[in-house]
Amino acid sequence: MSVILITGGTGAIGSAVAAEFARTDDVVITYNRREQEAQRLCSELHCTAVQADVSDYASAQNAVRQVLDEFGRIDVLVNNAGIAQIKLFTDITPEDWNRVLSVNLTGCFNMTQAAVKSMISRKSGAVVNISSVWGVFGGACESAYSASKAGMIGLTKALARELGASGITVNCVAPGVIESPMNSSHLTTEELSELAEQTPVCRLGQPSEVAKAVRALAENRFITGQVLGVDGGFC
């Protein structure tokens, strides 16, 4: 039985990843403010919830320390915590820019640096980062989000080369447009329908489909440094 740490576990993708692994493994999810949702999910899946603001270095370190204290190791880290923003580039404030990058990209750095230290000592582990199709080729009016997700891809490839000799794989999943509350809150029904029409399989993706890809990358020990598009052929 492996120990799986999933950041942003209360979101659509995060909870689907938690459900995928909880069938066979010990799962820990992090949450920032949504404690009730985290506890409800953990009650359903029999997993553990840890509070963490991934954008804060000390908070990330503390979350990893709690997991190591309770379970003794972390076998898989899934960097899923993220926020989105739709704005014209000329309207983005420095505060907007810093907030998106601090959660999506710096949060990935904070959690990964904290978790891989124990993986290196054990010479075993896997990191799976949740990027986005917009991180691959960019999205109009989503420059901060696209930049943060592209940064995750660059970090994935660099760490795969650096950590491979320590028995650690590092990969990335780049979802397309997924049916989720986050997308529904930023996009209209008409916009979501248009995106579905632009997707070759003619529909939006399901969180569970992303979760299955995460599991596959976490378990295959000869795949590293890769970006797997779960996008219905969108790009």
Q: What is the pLDDT of residues 9-46, one digit of tens each?
A: 999 999 999 999 999 999 999 999 999 999 999 999 99
Q: Check residue 184 and give its pLDDT.
A: 65
Find the helix or strand (DSSP H, E) in which 51 lies: strand 48-51
Set out the domains of the chain in order of their start, with CATH numbers: 3-176+208-230 (3.40.50.720)
Whole-number CA gyration radius for the chain:
17
Q: Check residue 235 and give its pLDDT.
A: 67
CA angle 77, 81, 87 (to 5 degrees): 150
Q: Check residue 11 and give its pLDDT.
A: 94
Claim: this prediction has a pTM higher than 0.85: yes
The dihedrals phi and psi of 114, each to the nearest 5 degrees, come to -65, -40
Half-sphere exposure of 136 (CA within 13 A, CB side): 18
Share of the chain above pLDDT 90, in %: 85
Buried b (16+ CB within 10 A) or exposed e, 120-129: eeeebbbbbb
Rounded-to-integer distance, Cα 187 and Cα 173, Å: 22
Q: Check residue 204 and give its pLDDT.
A: 86
Rounded-to-integer distance, Cα 111 and Cα 128, Å: 12
Tell me which residues are annotated as active site.
Answer: 145
Q: Check residue 190 and give its pLDDT.
A: 81
Low pLDDT (below 50) residues in the chain: none
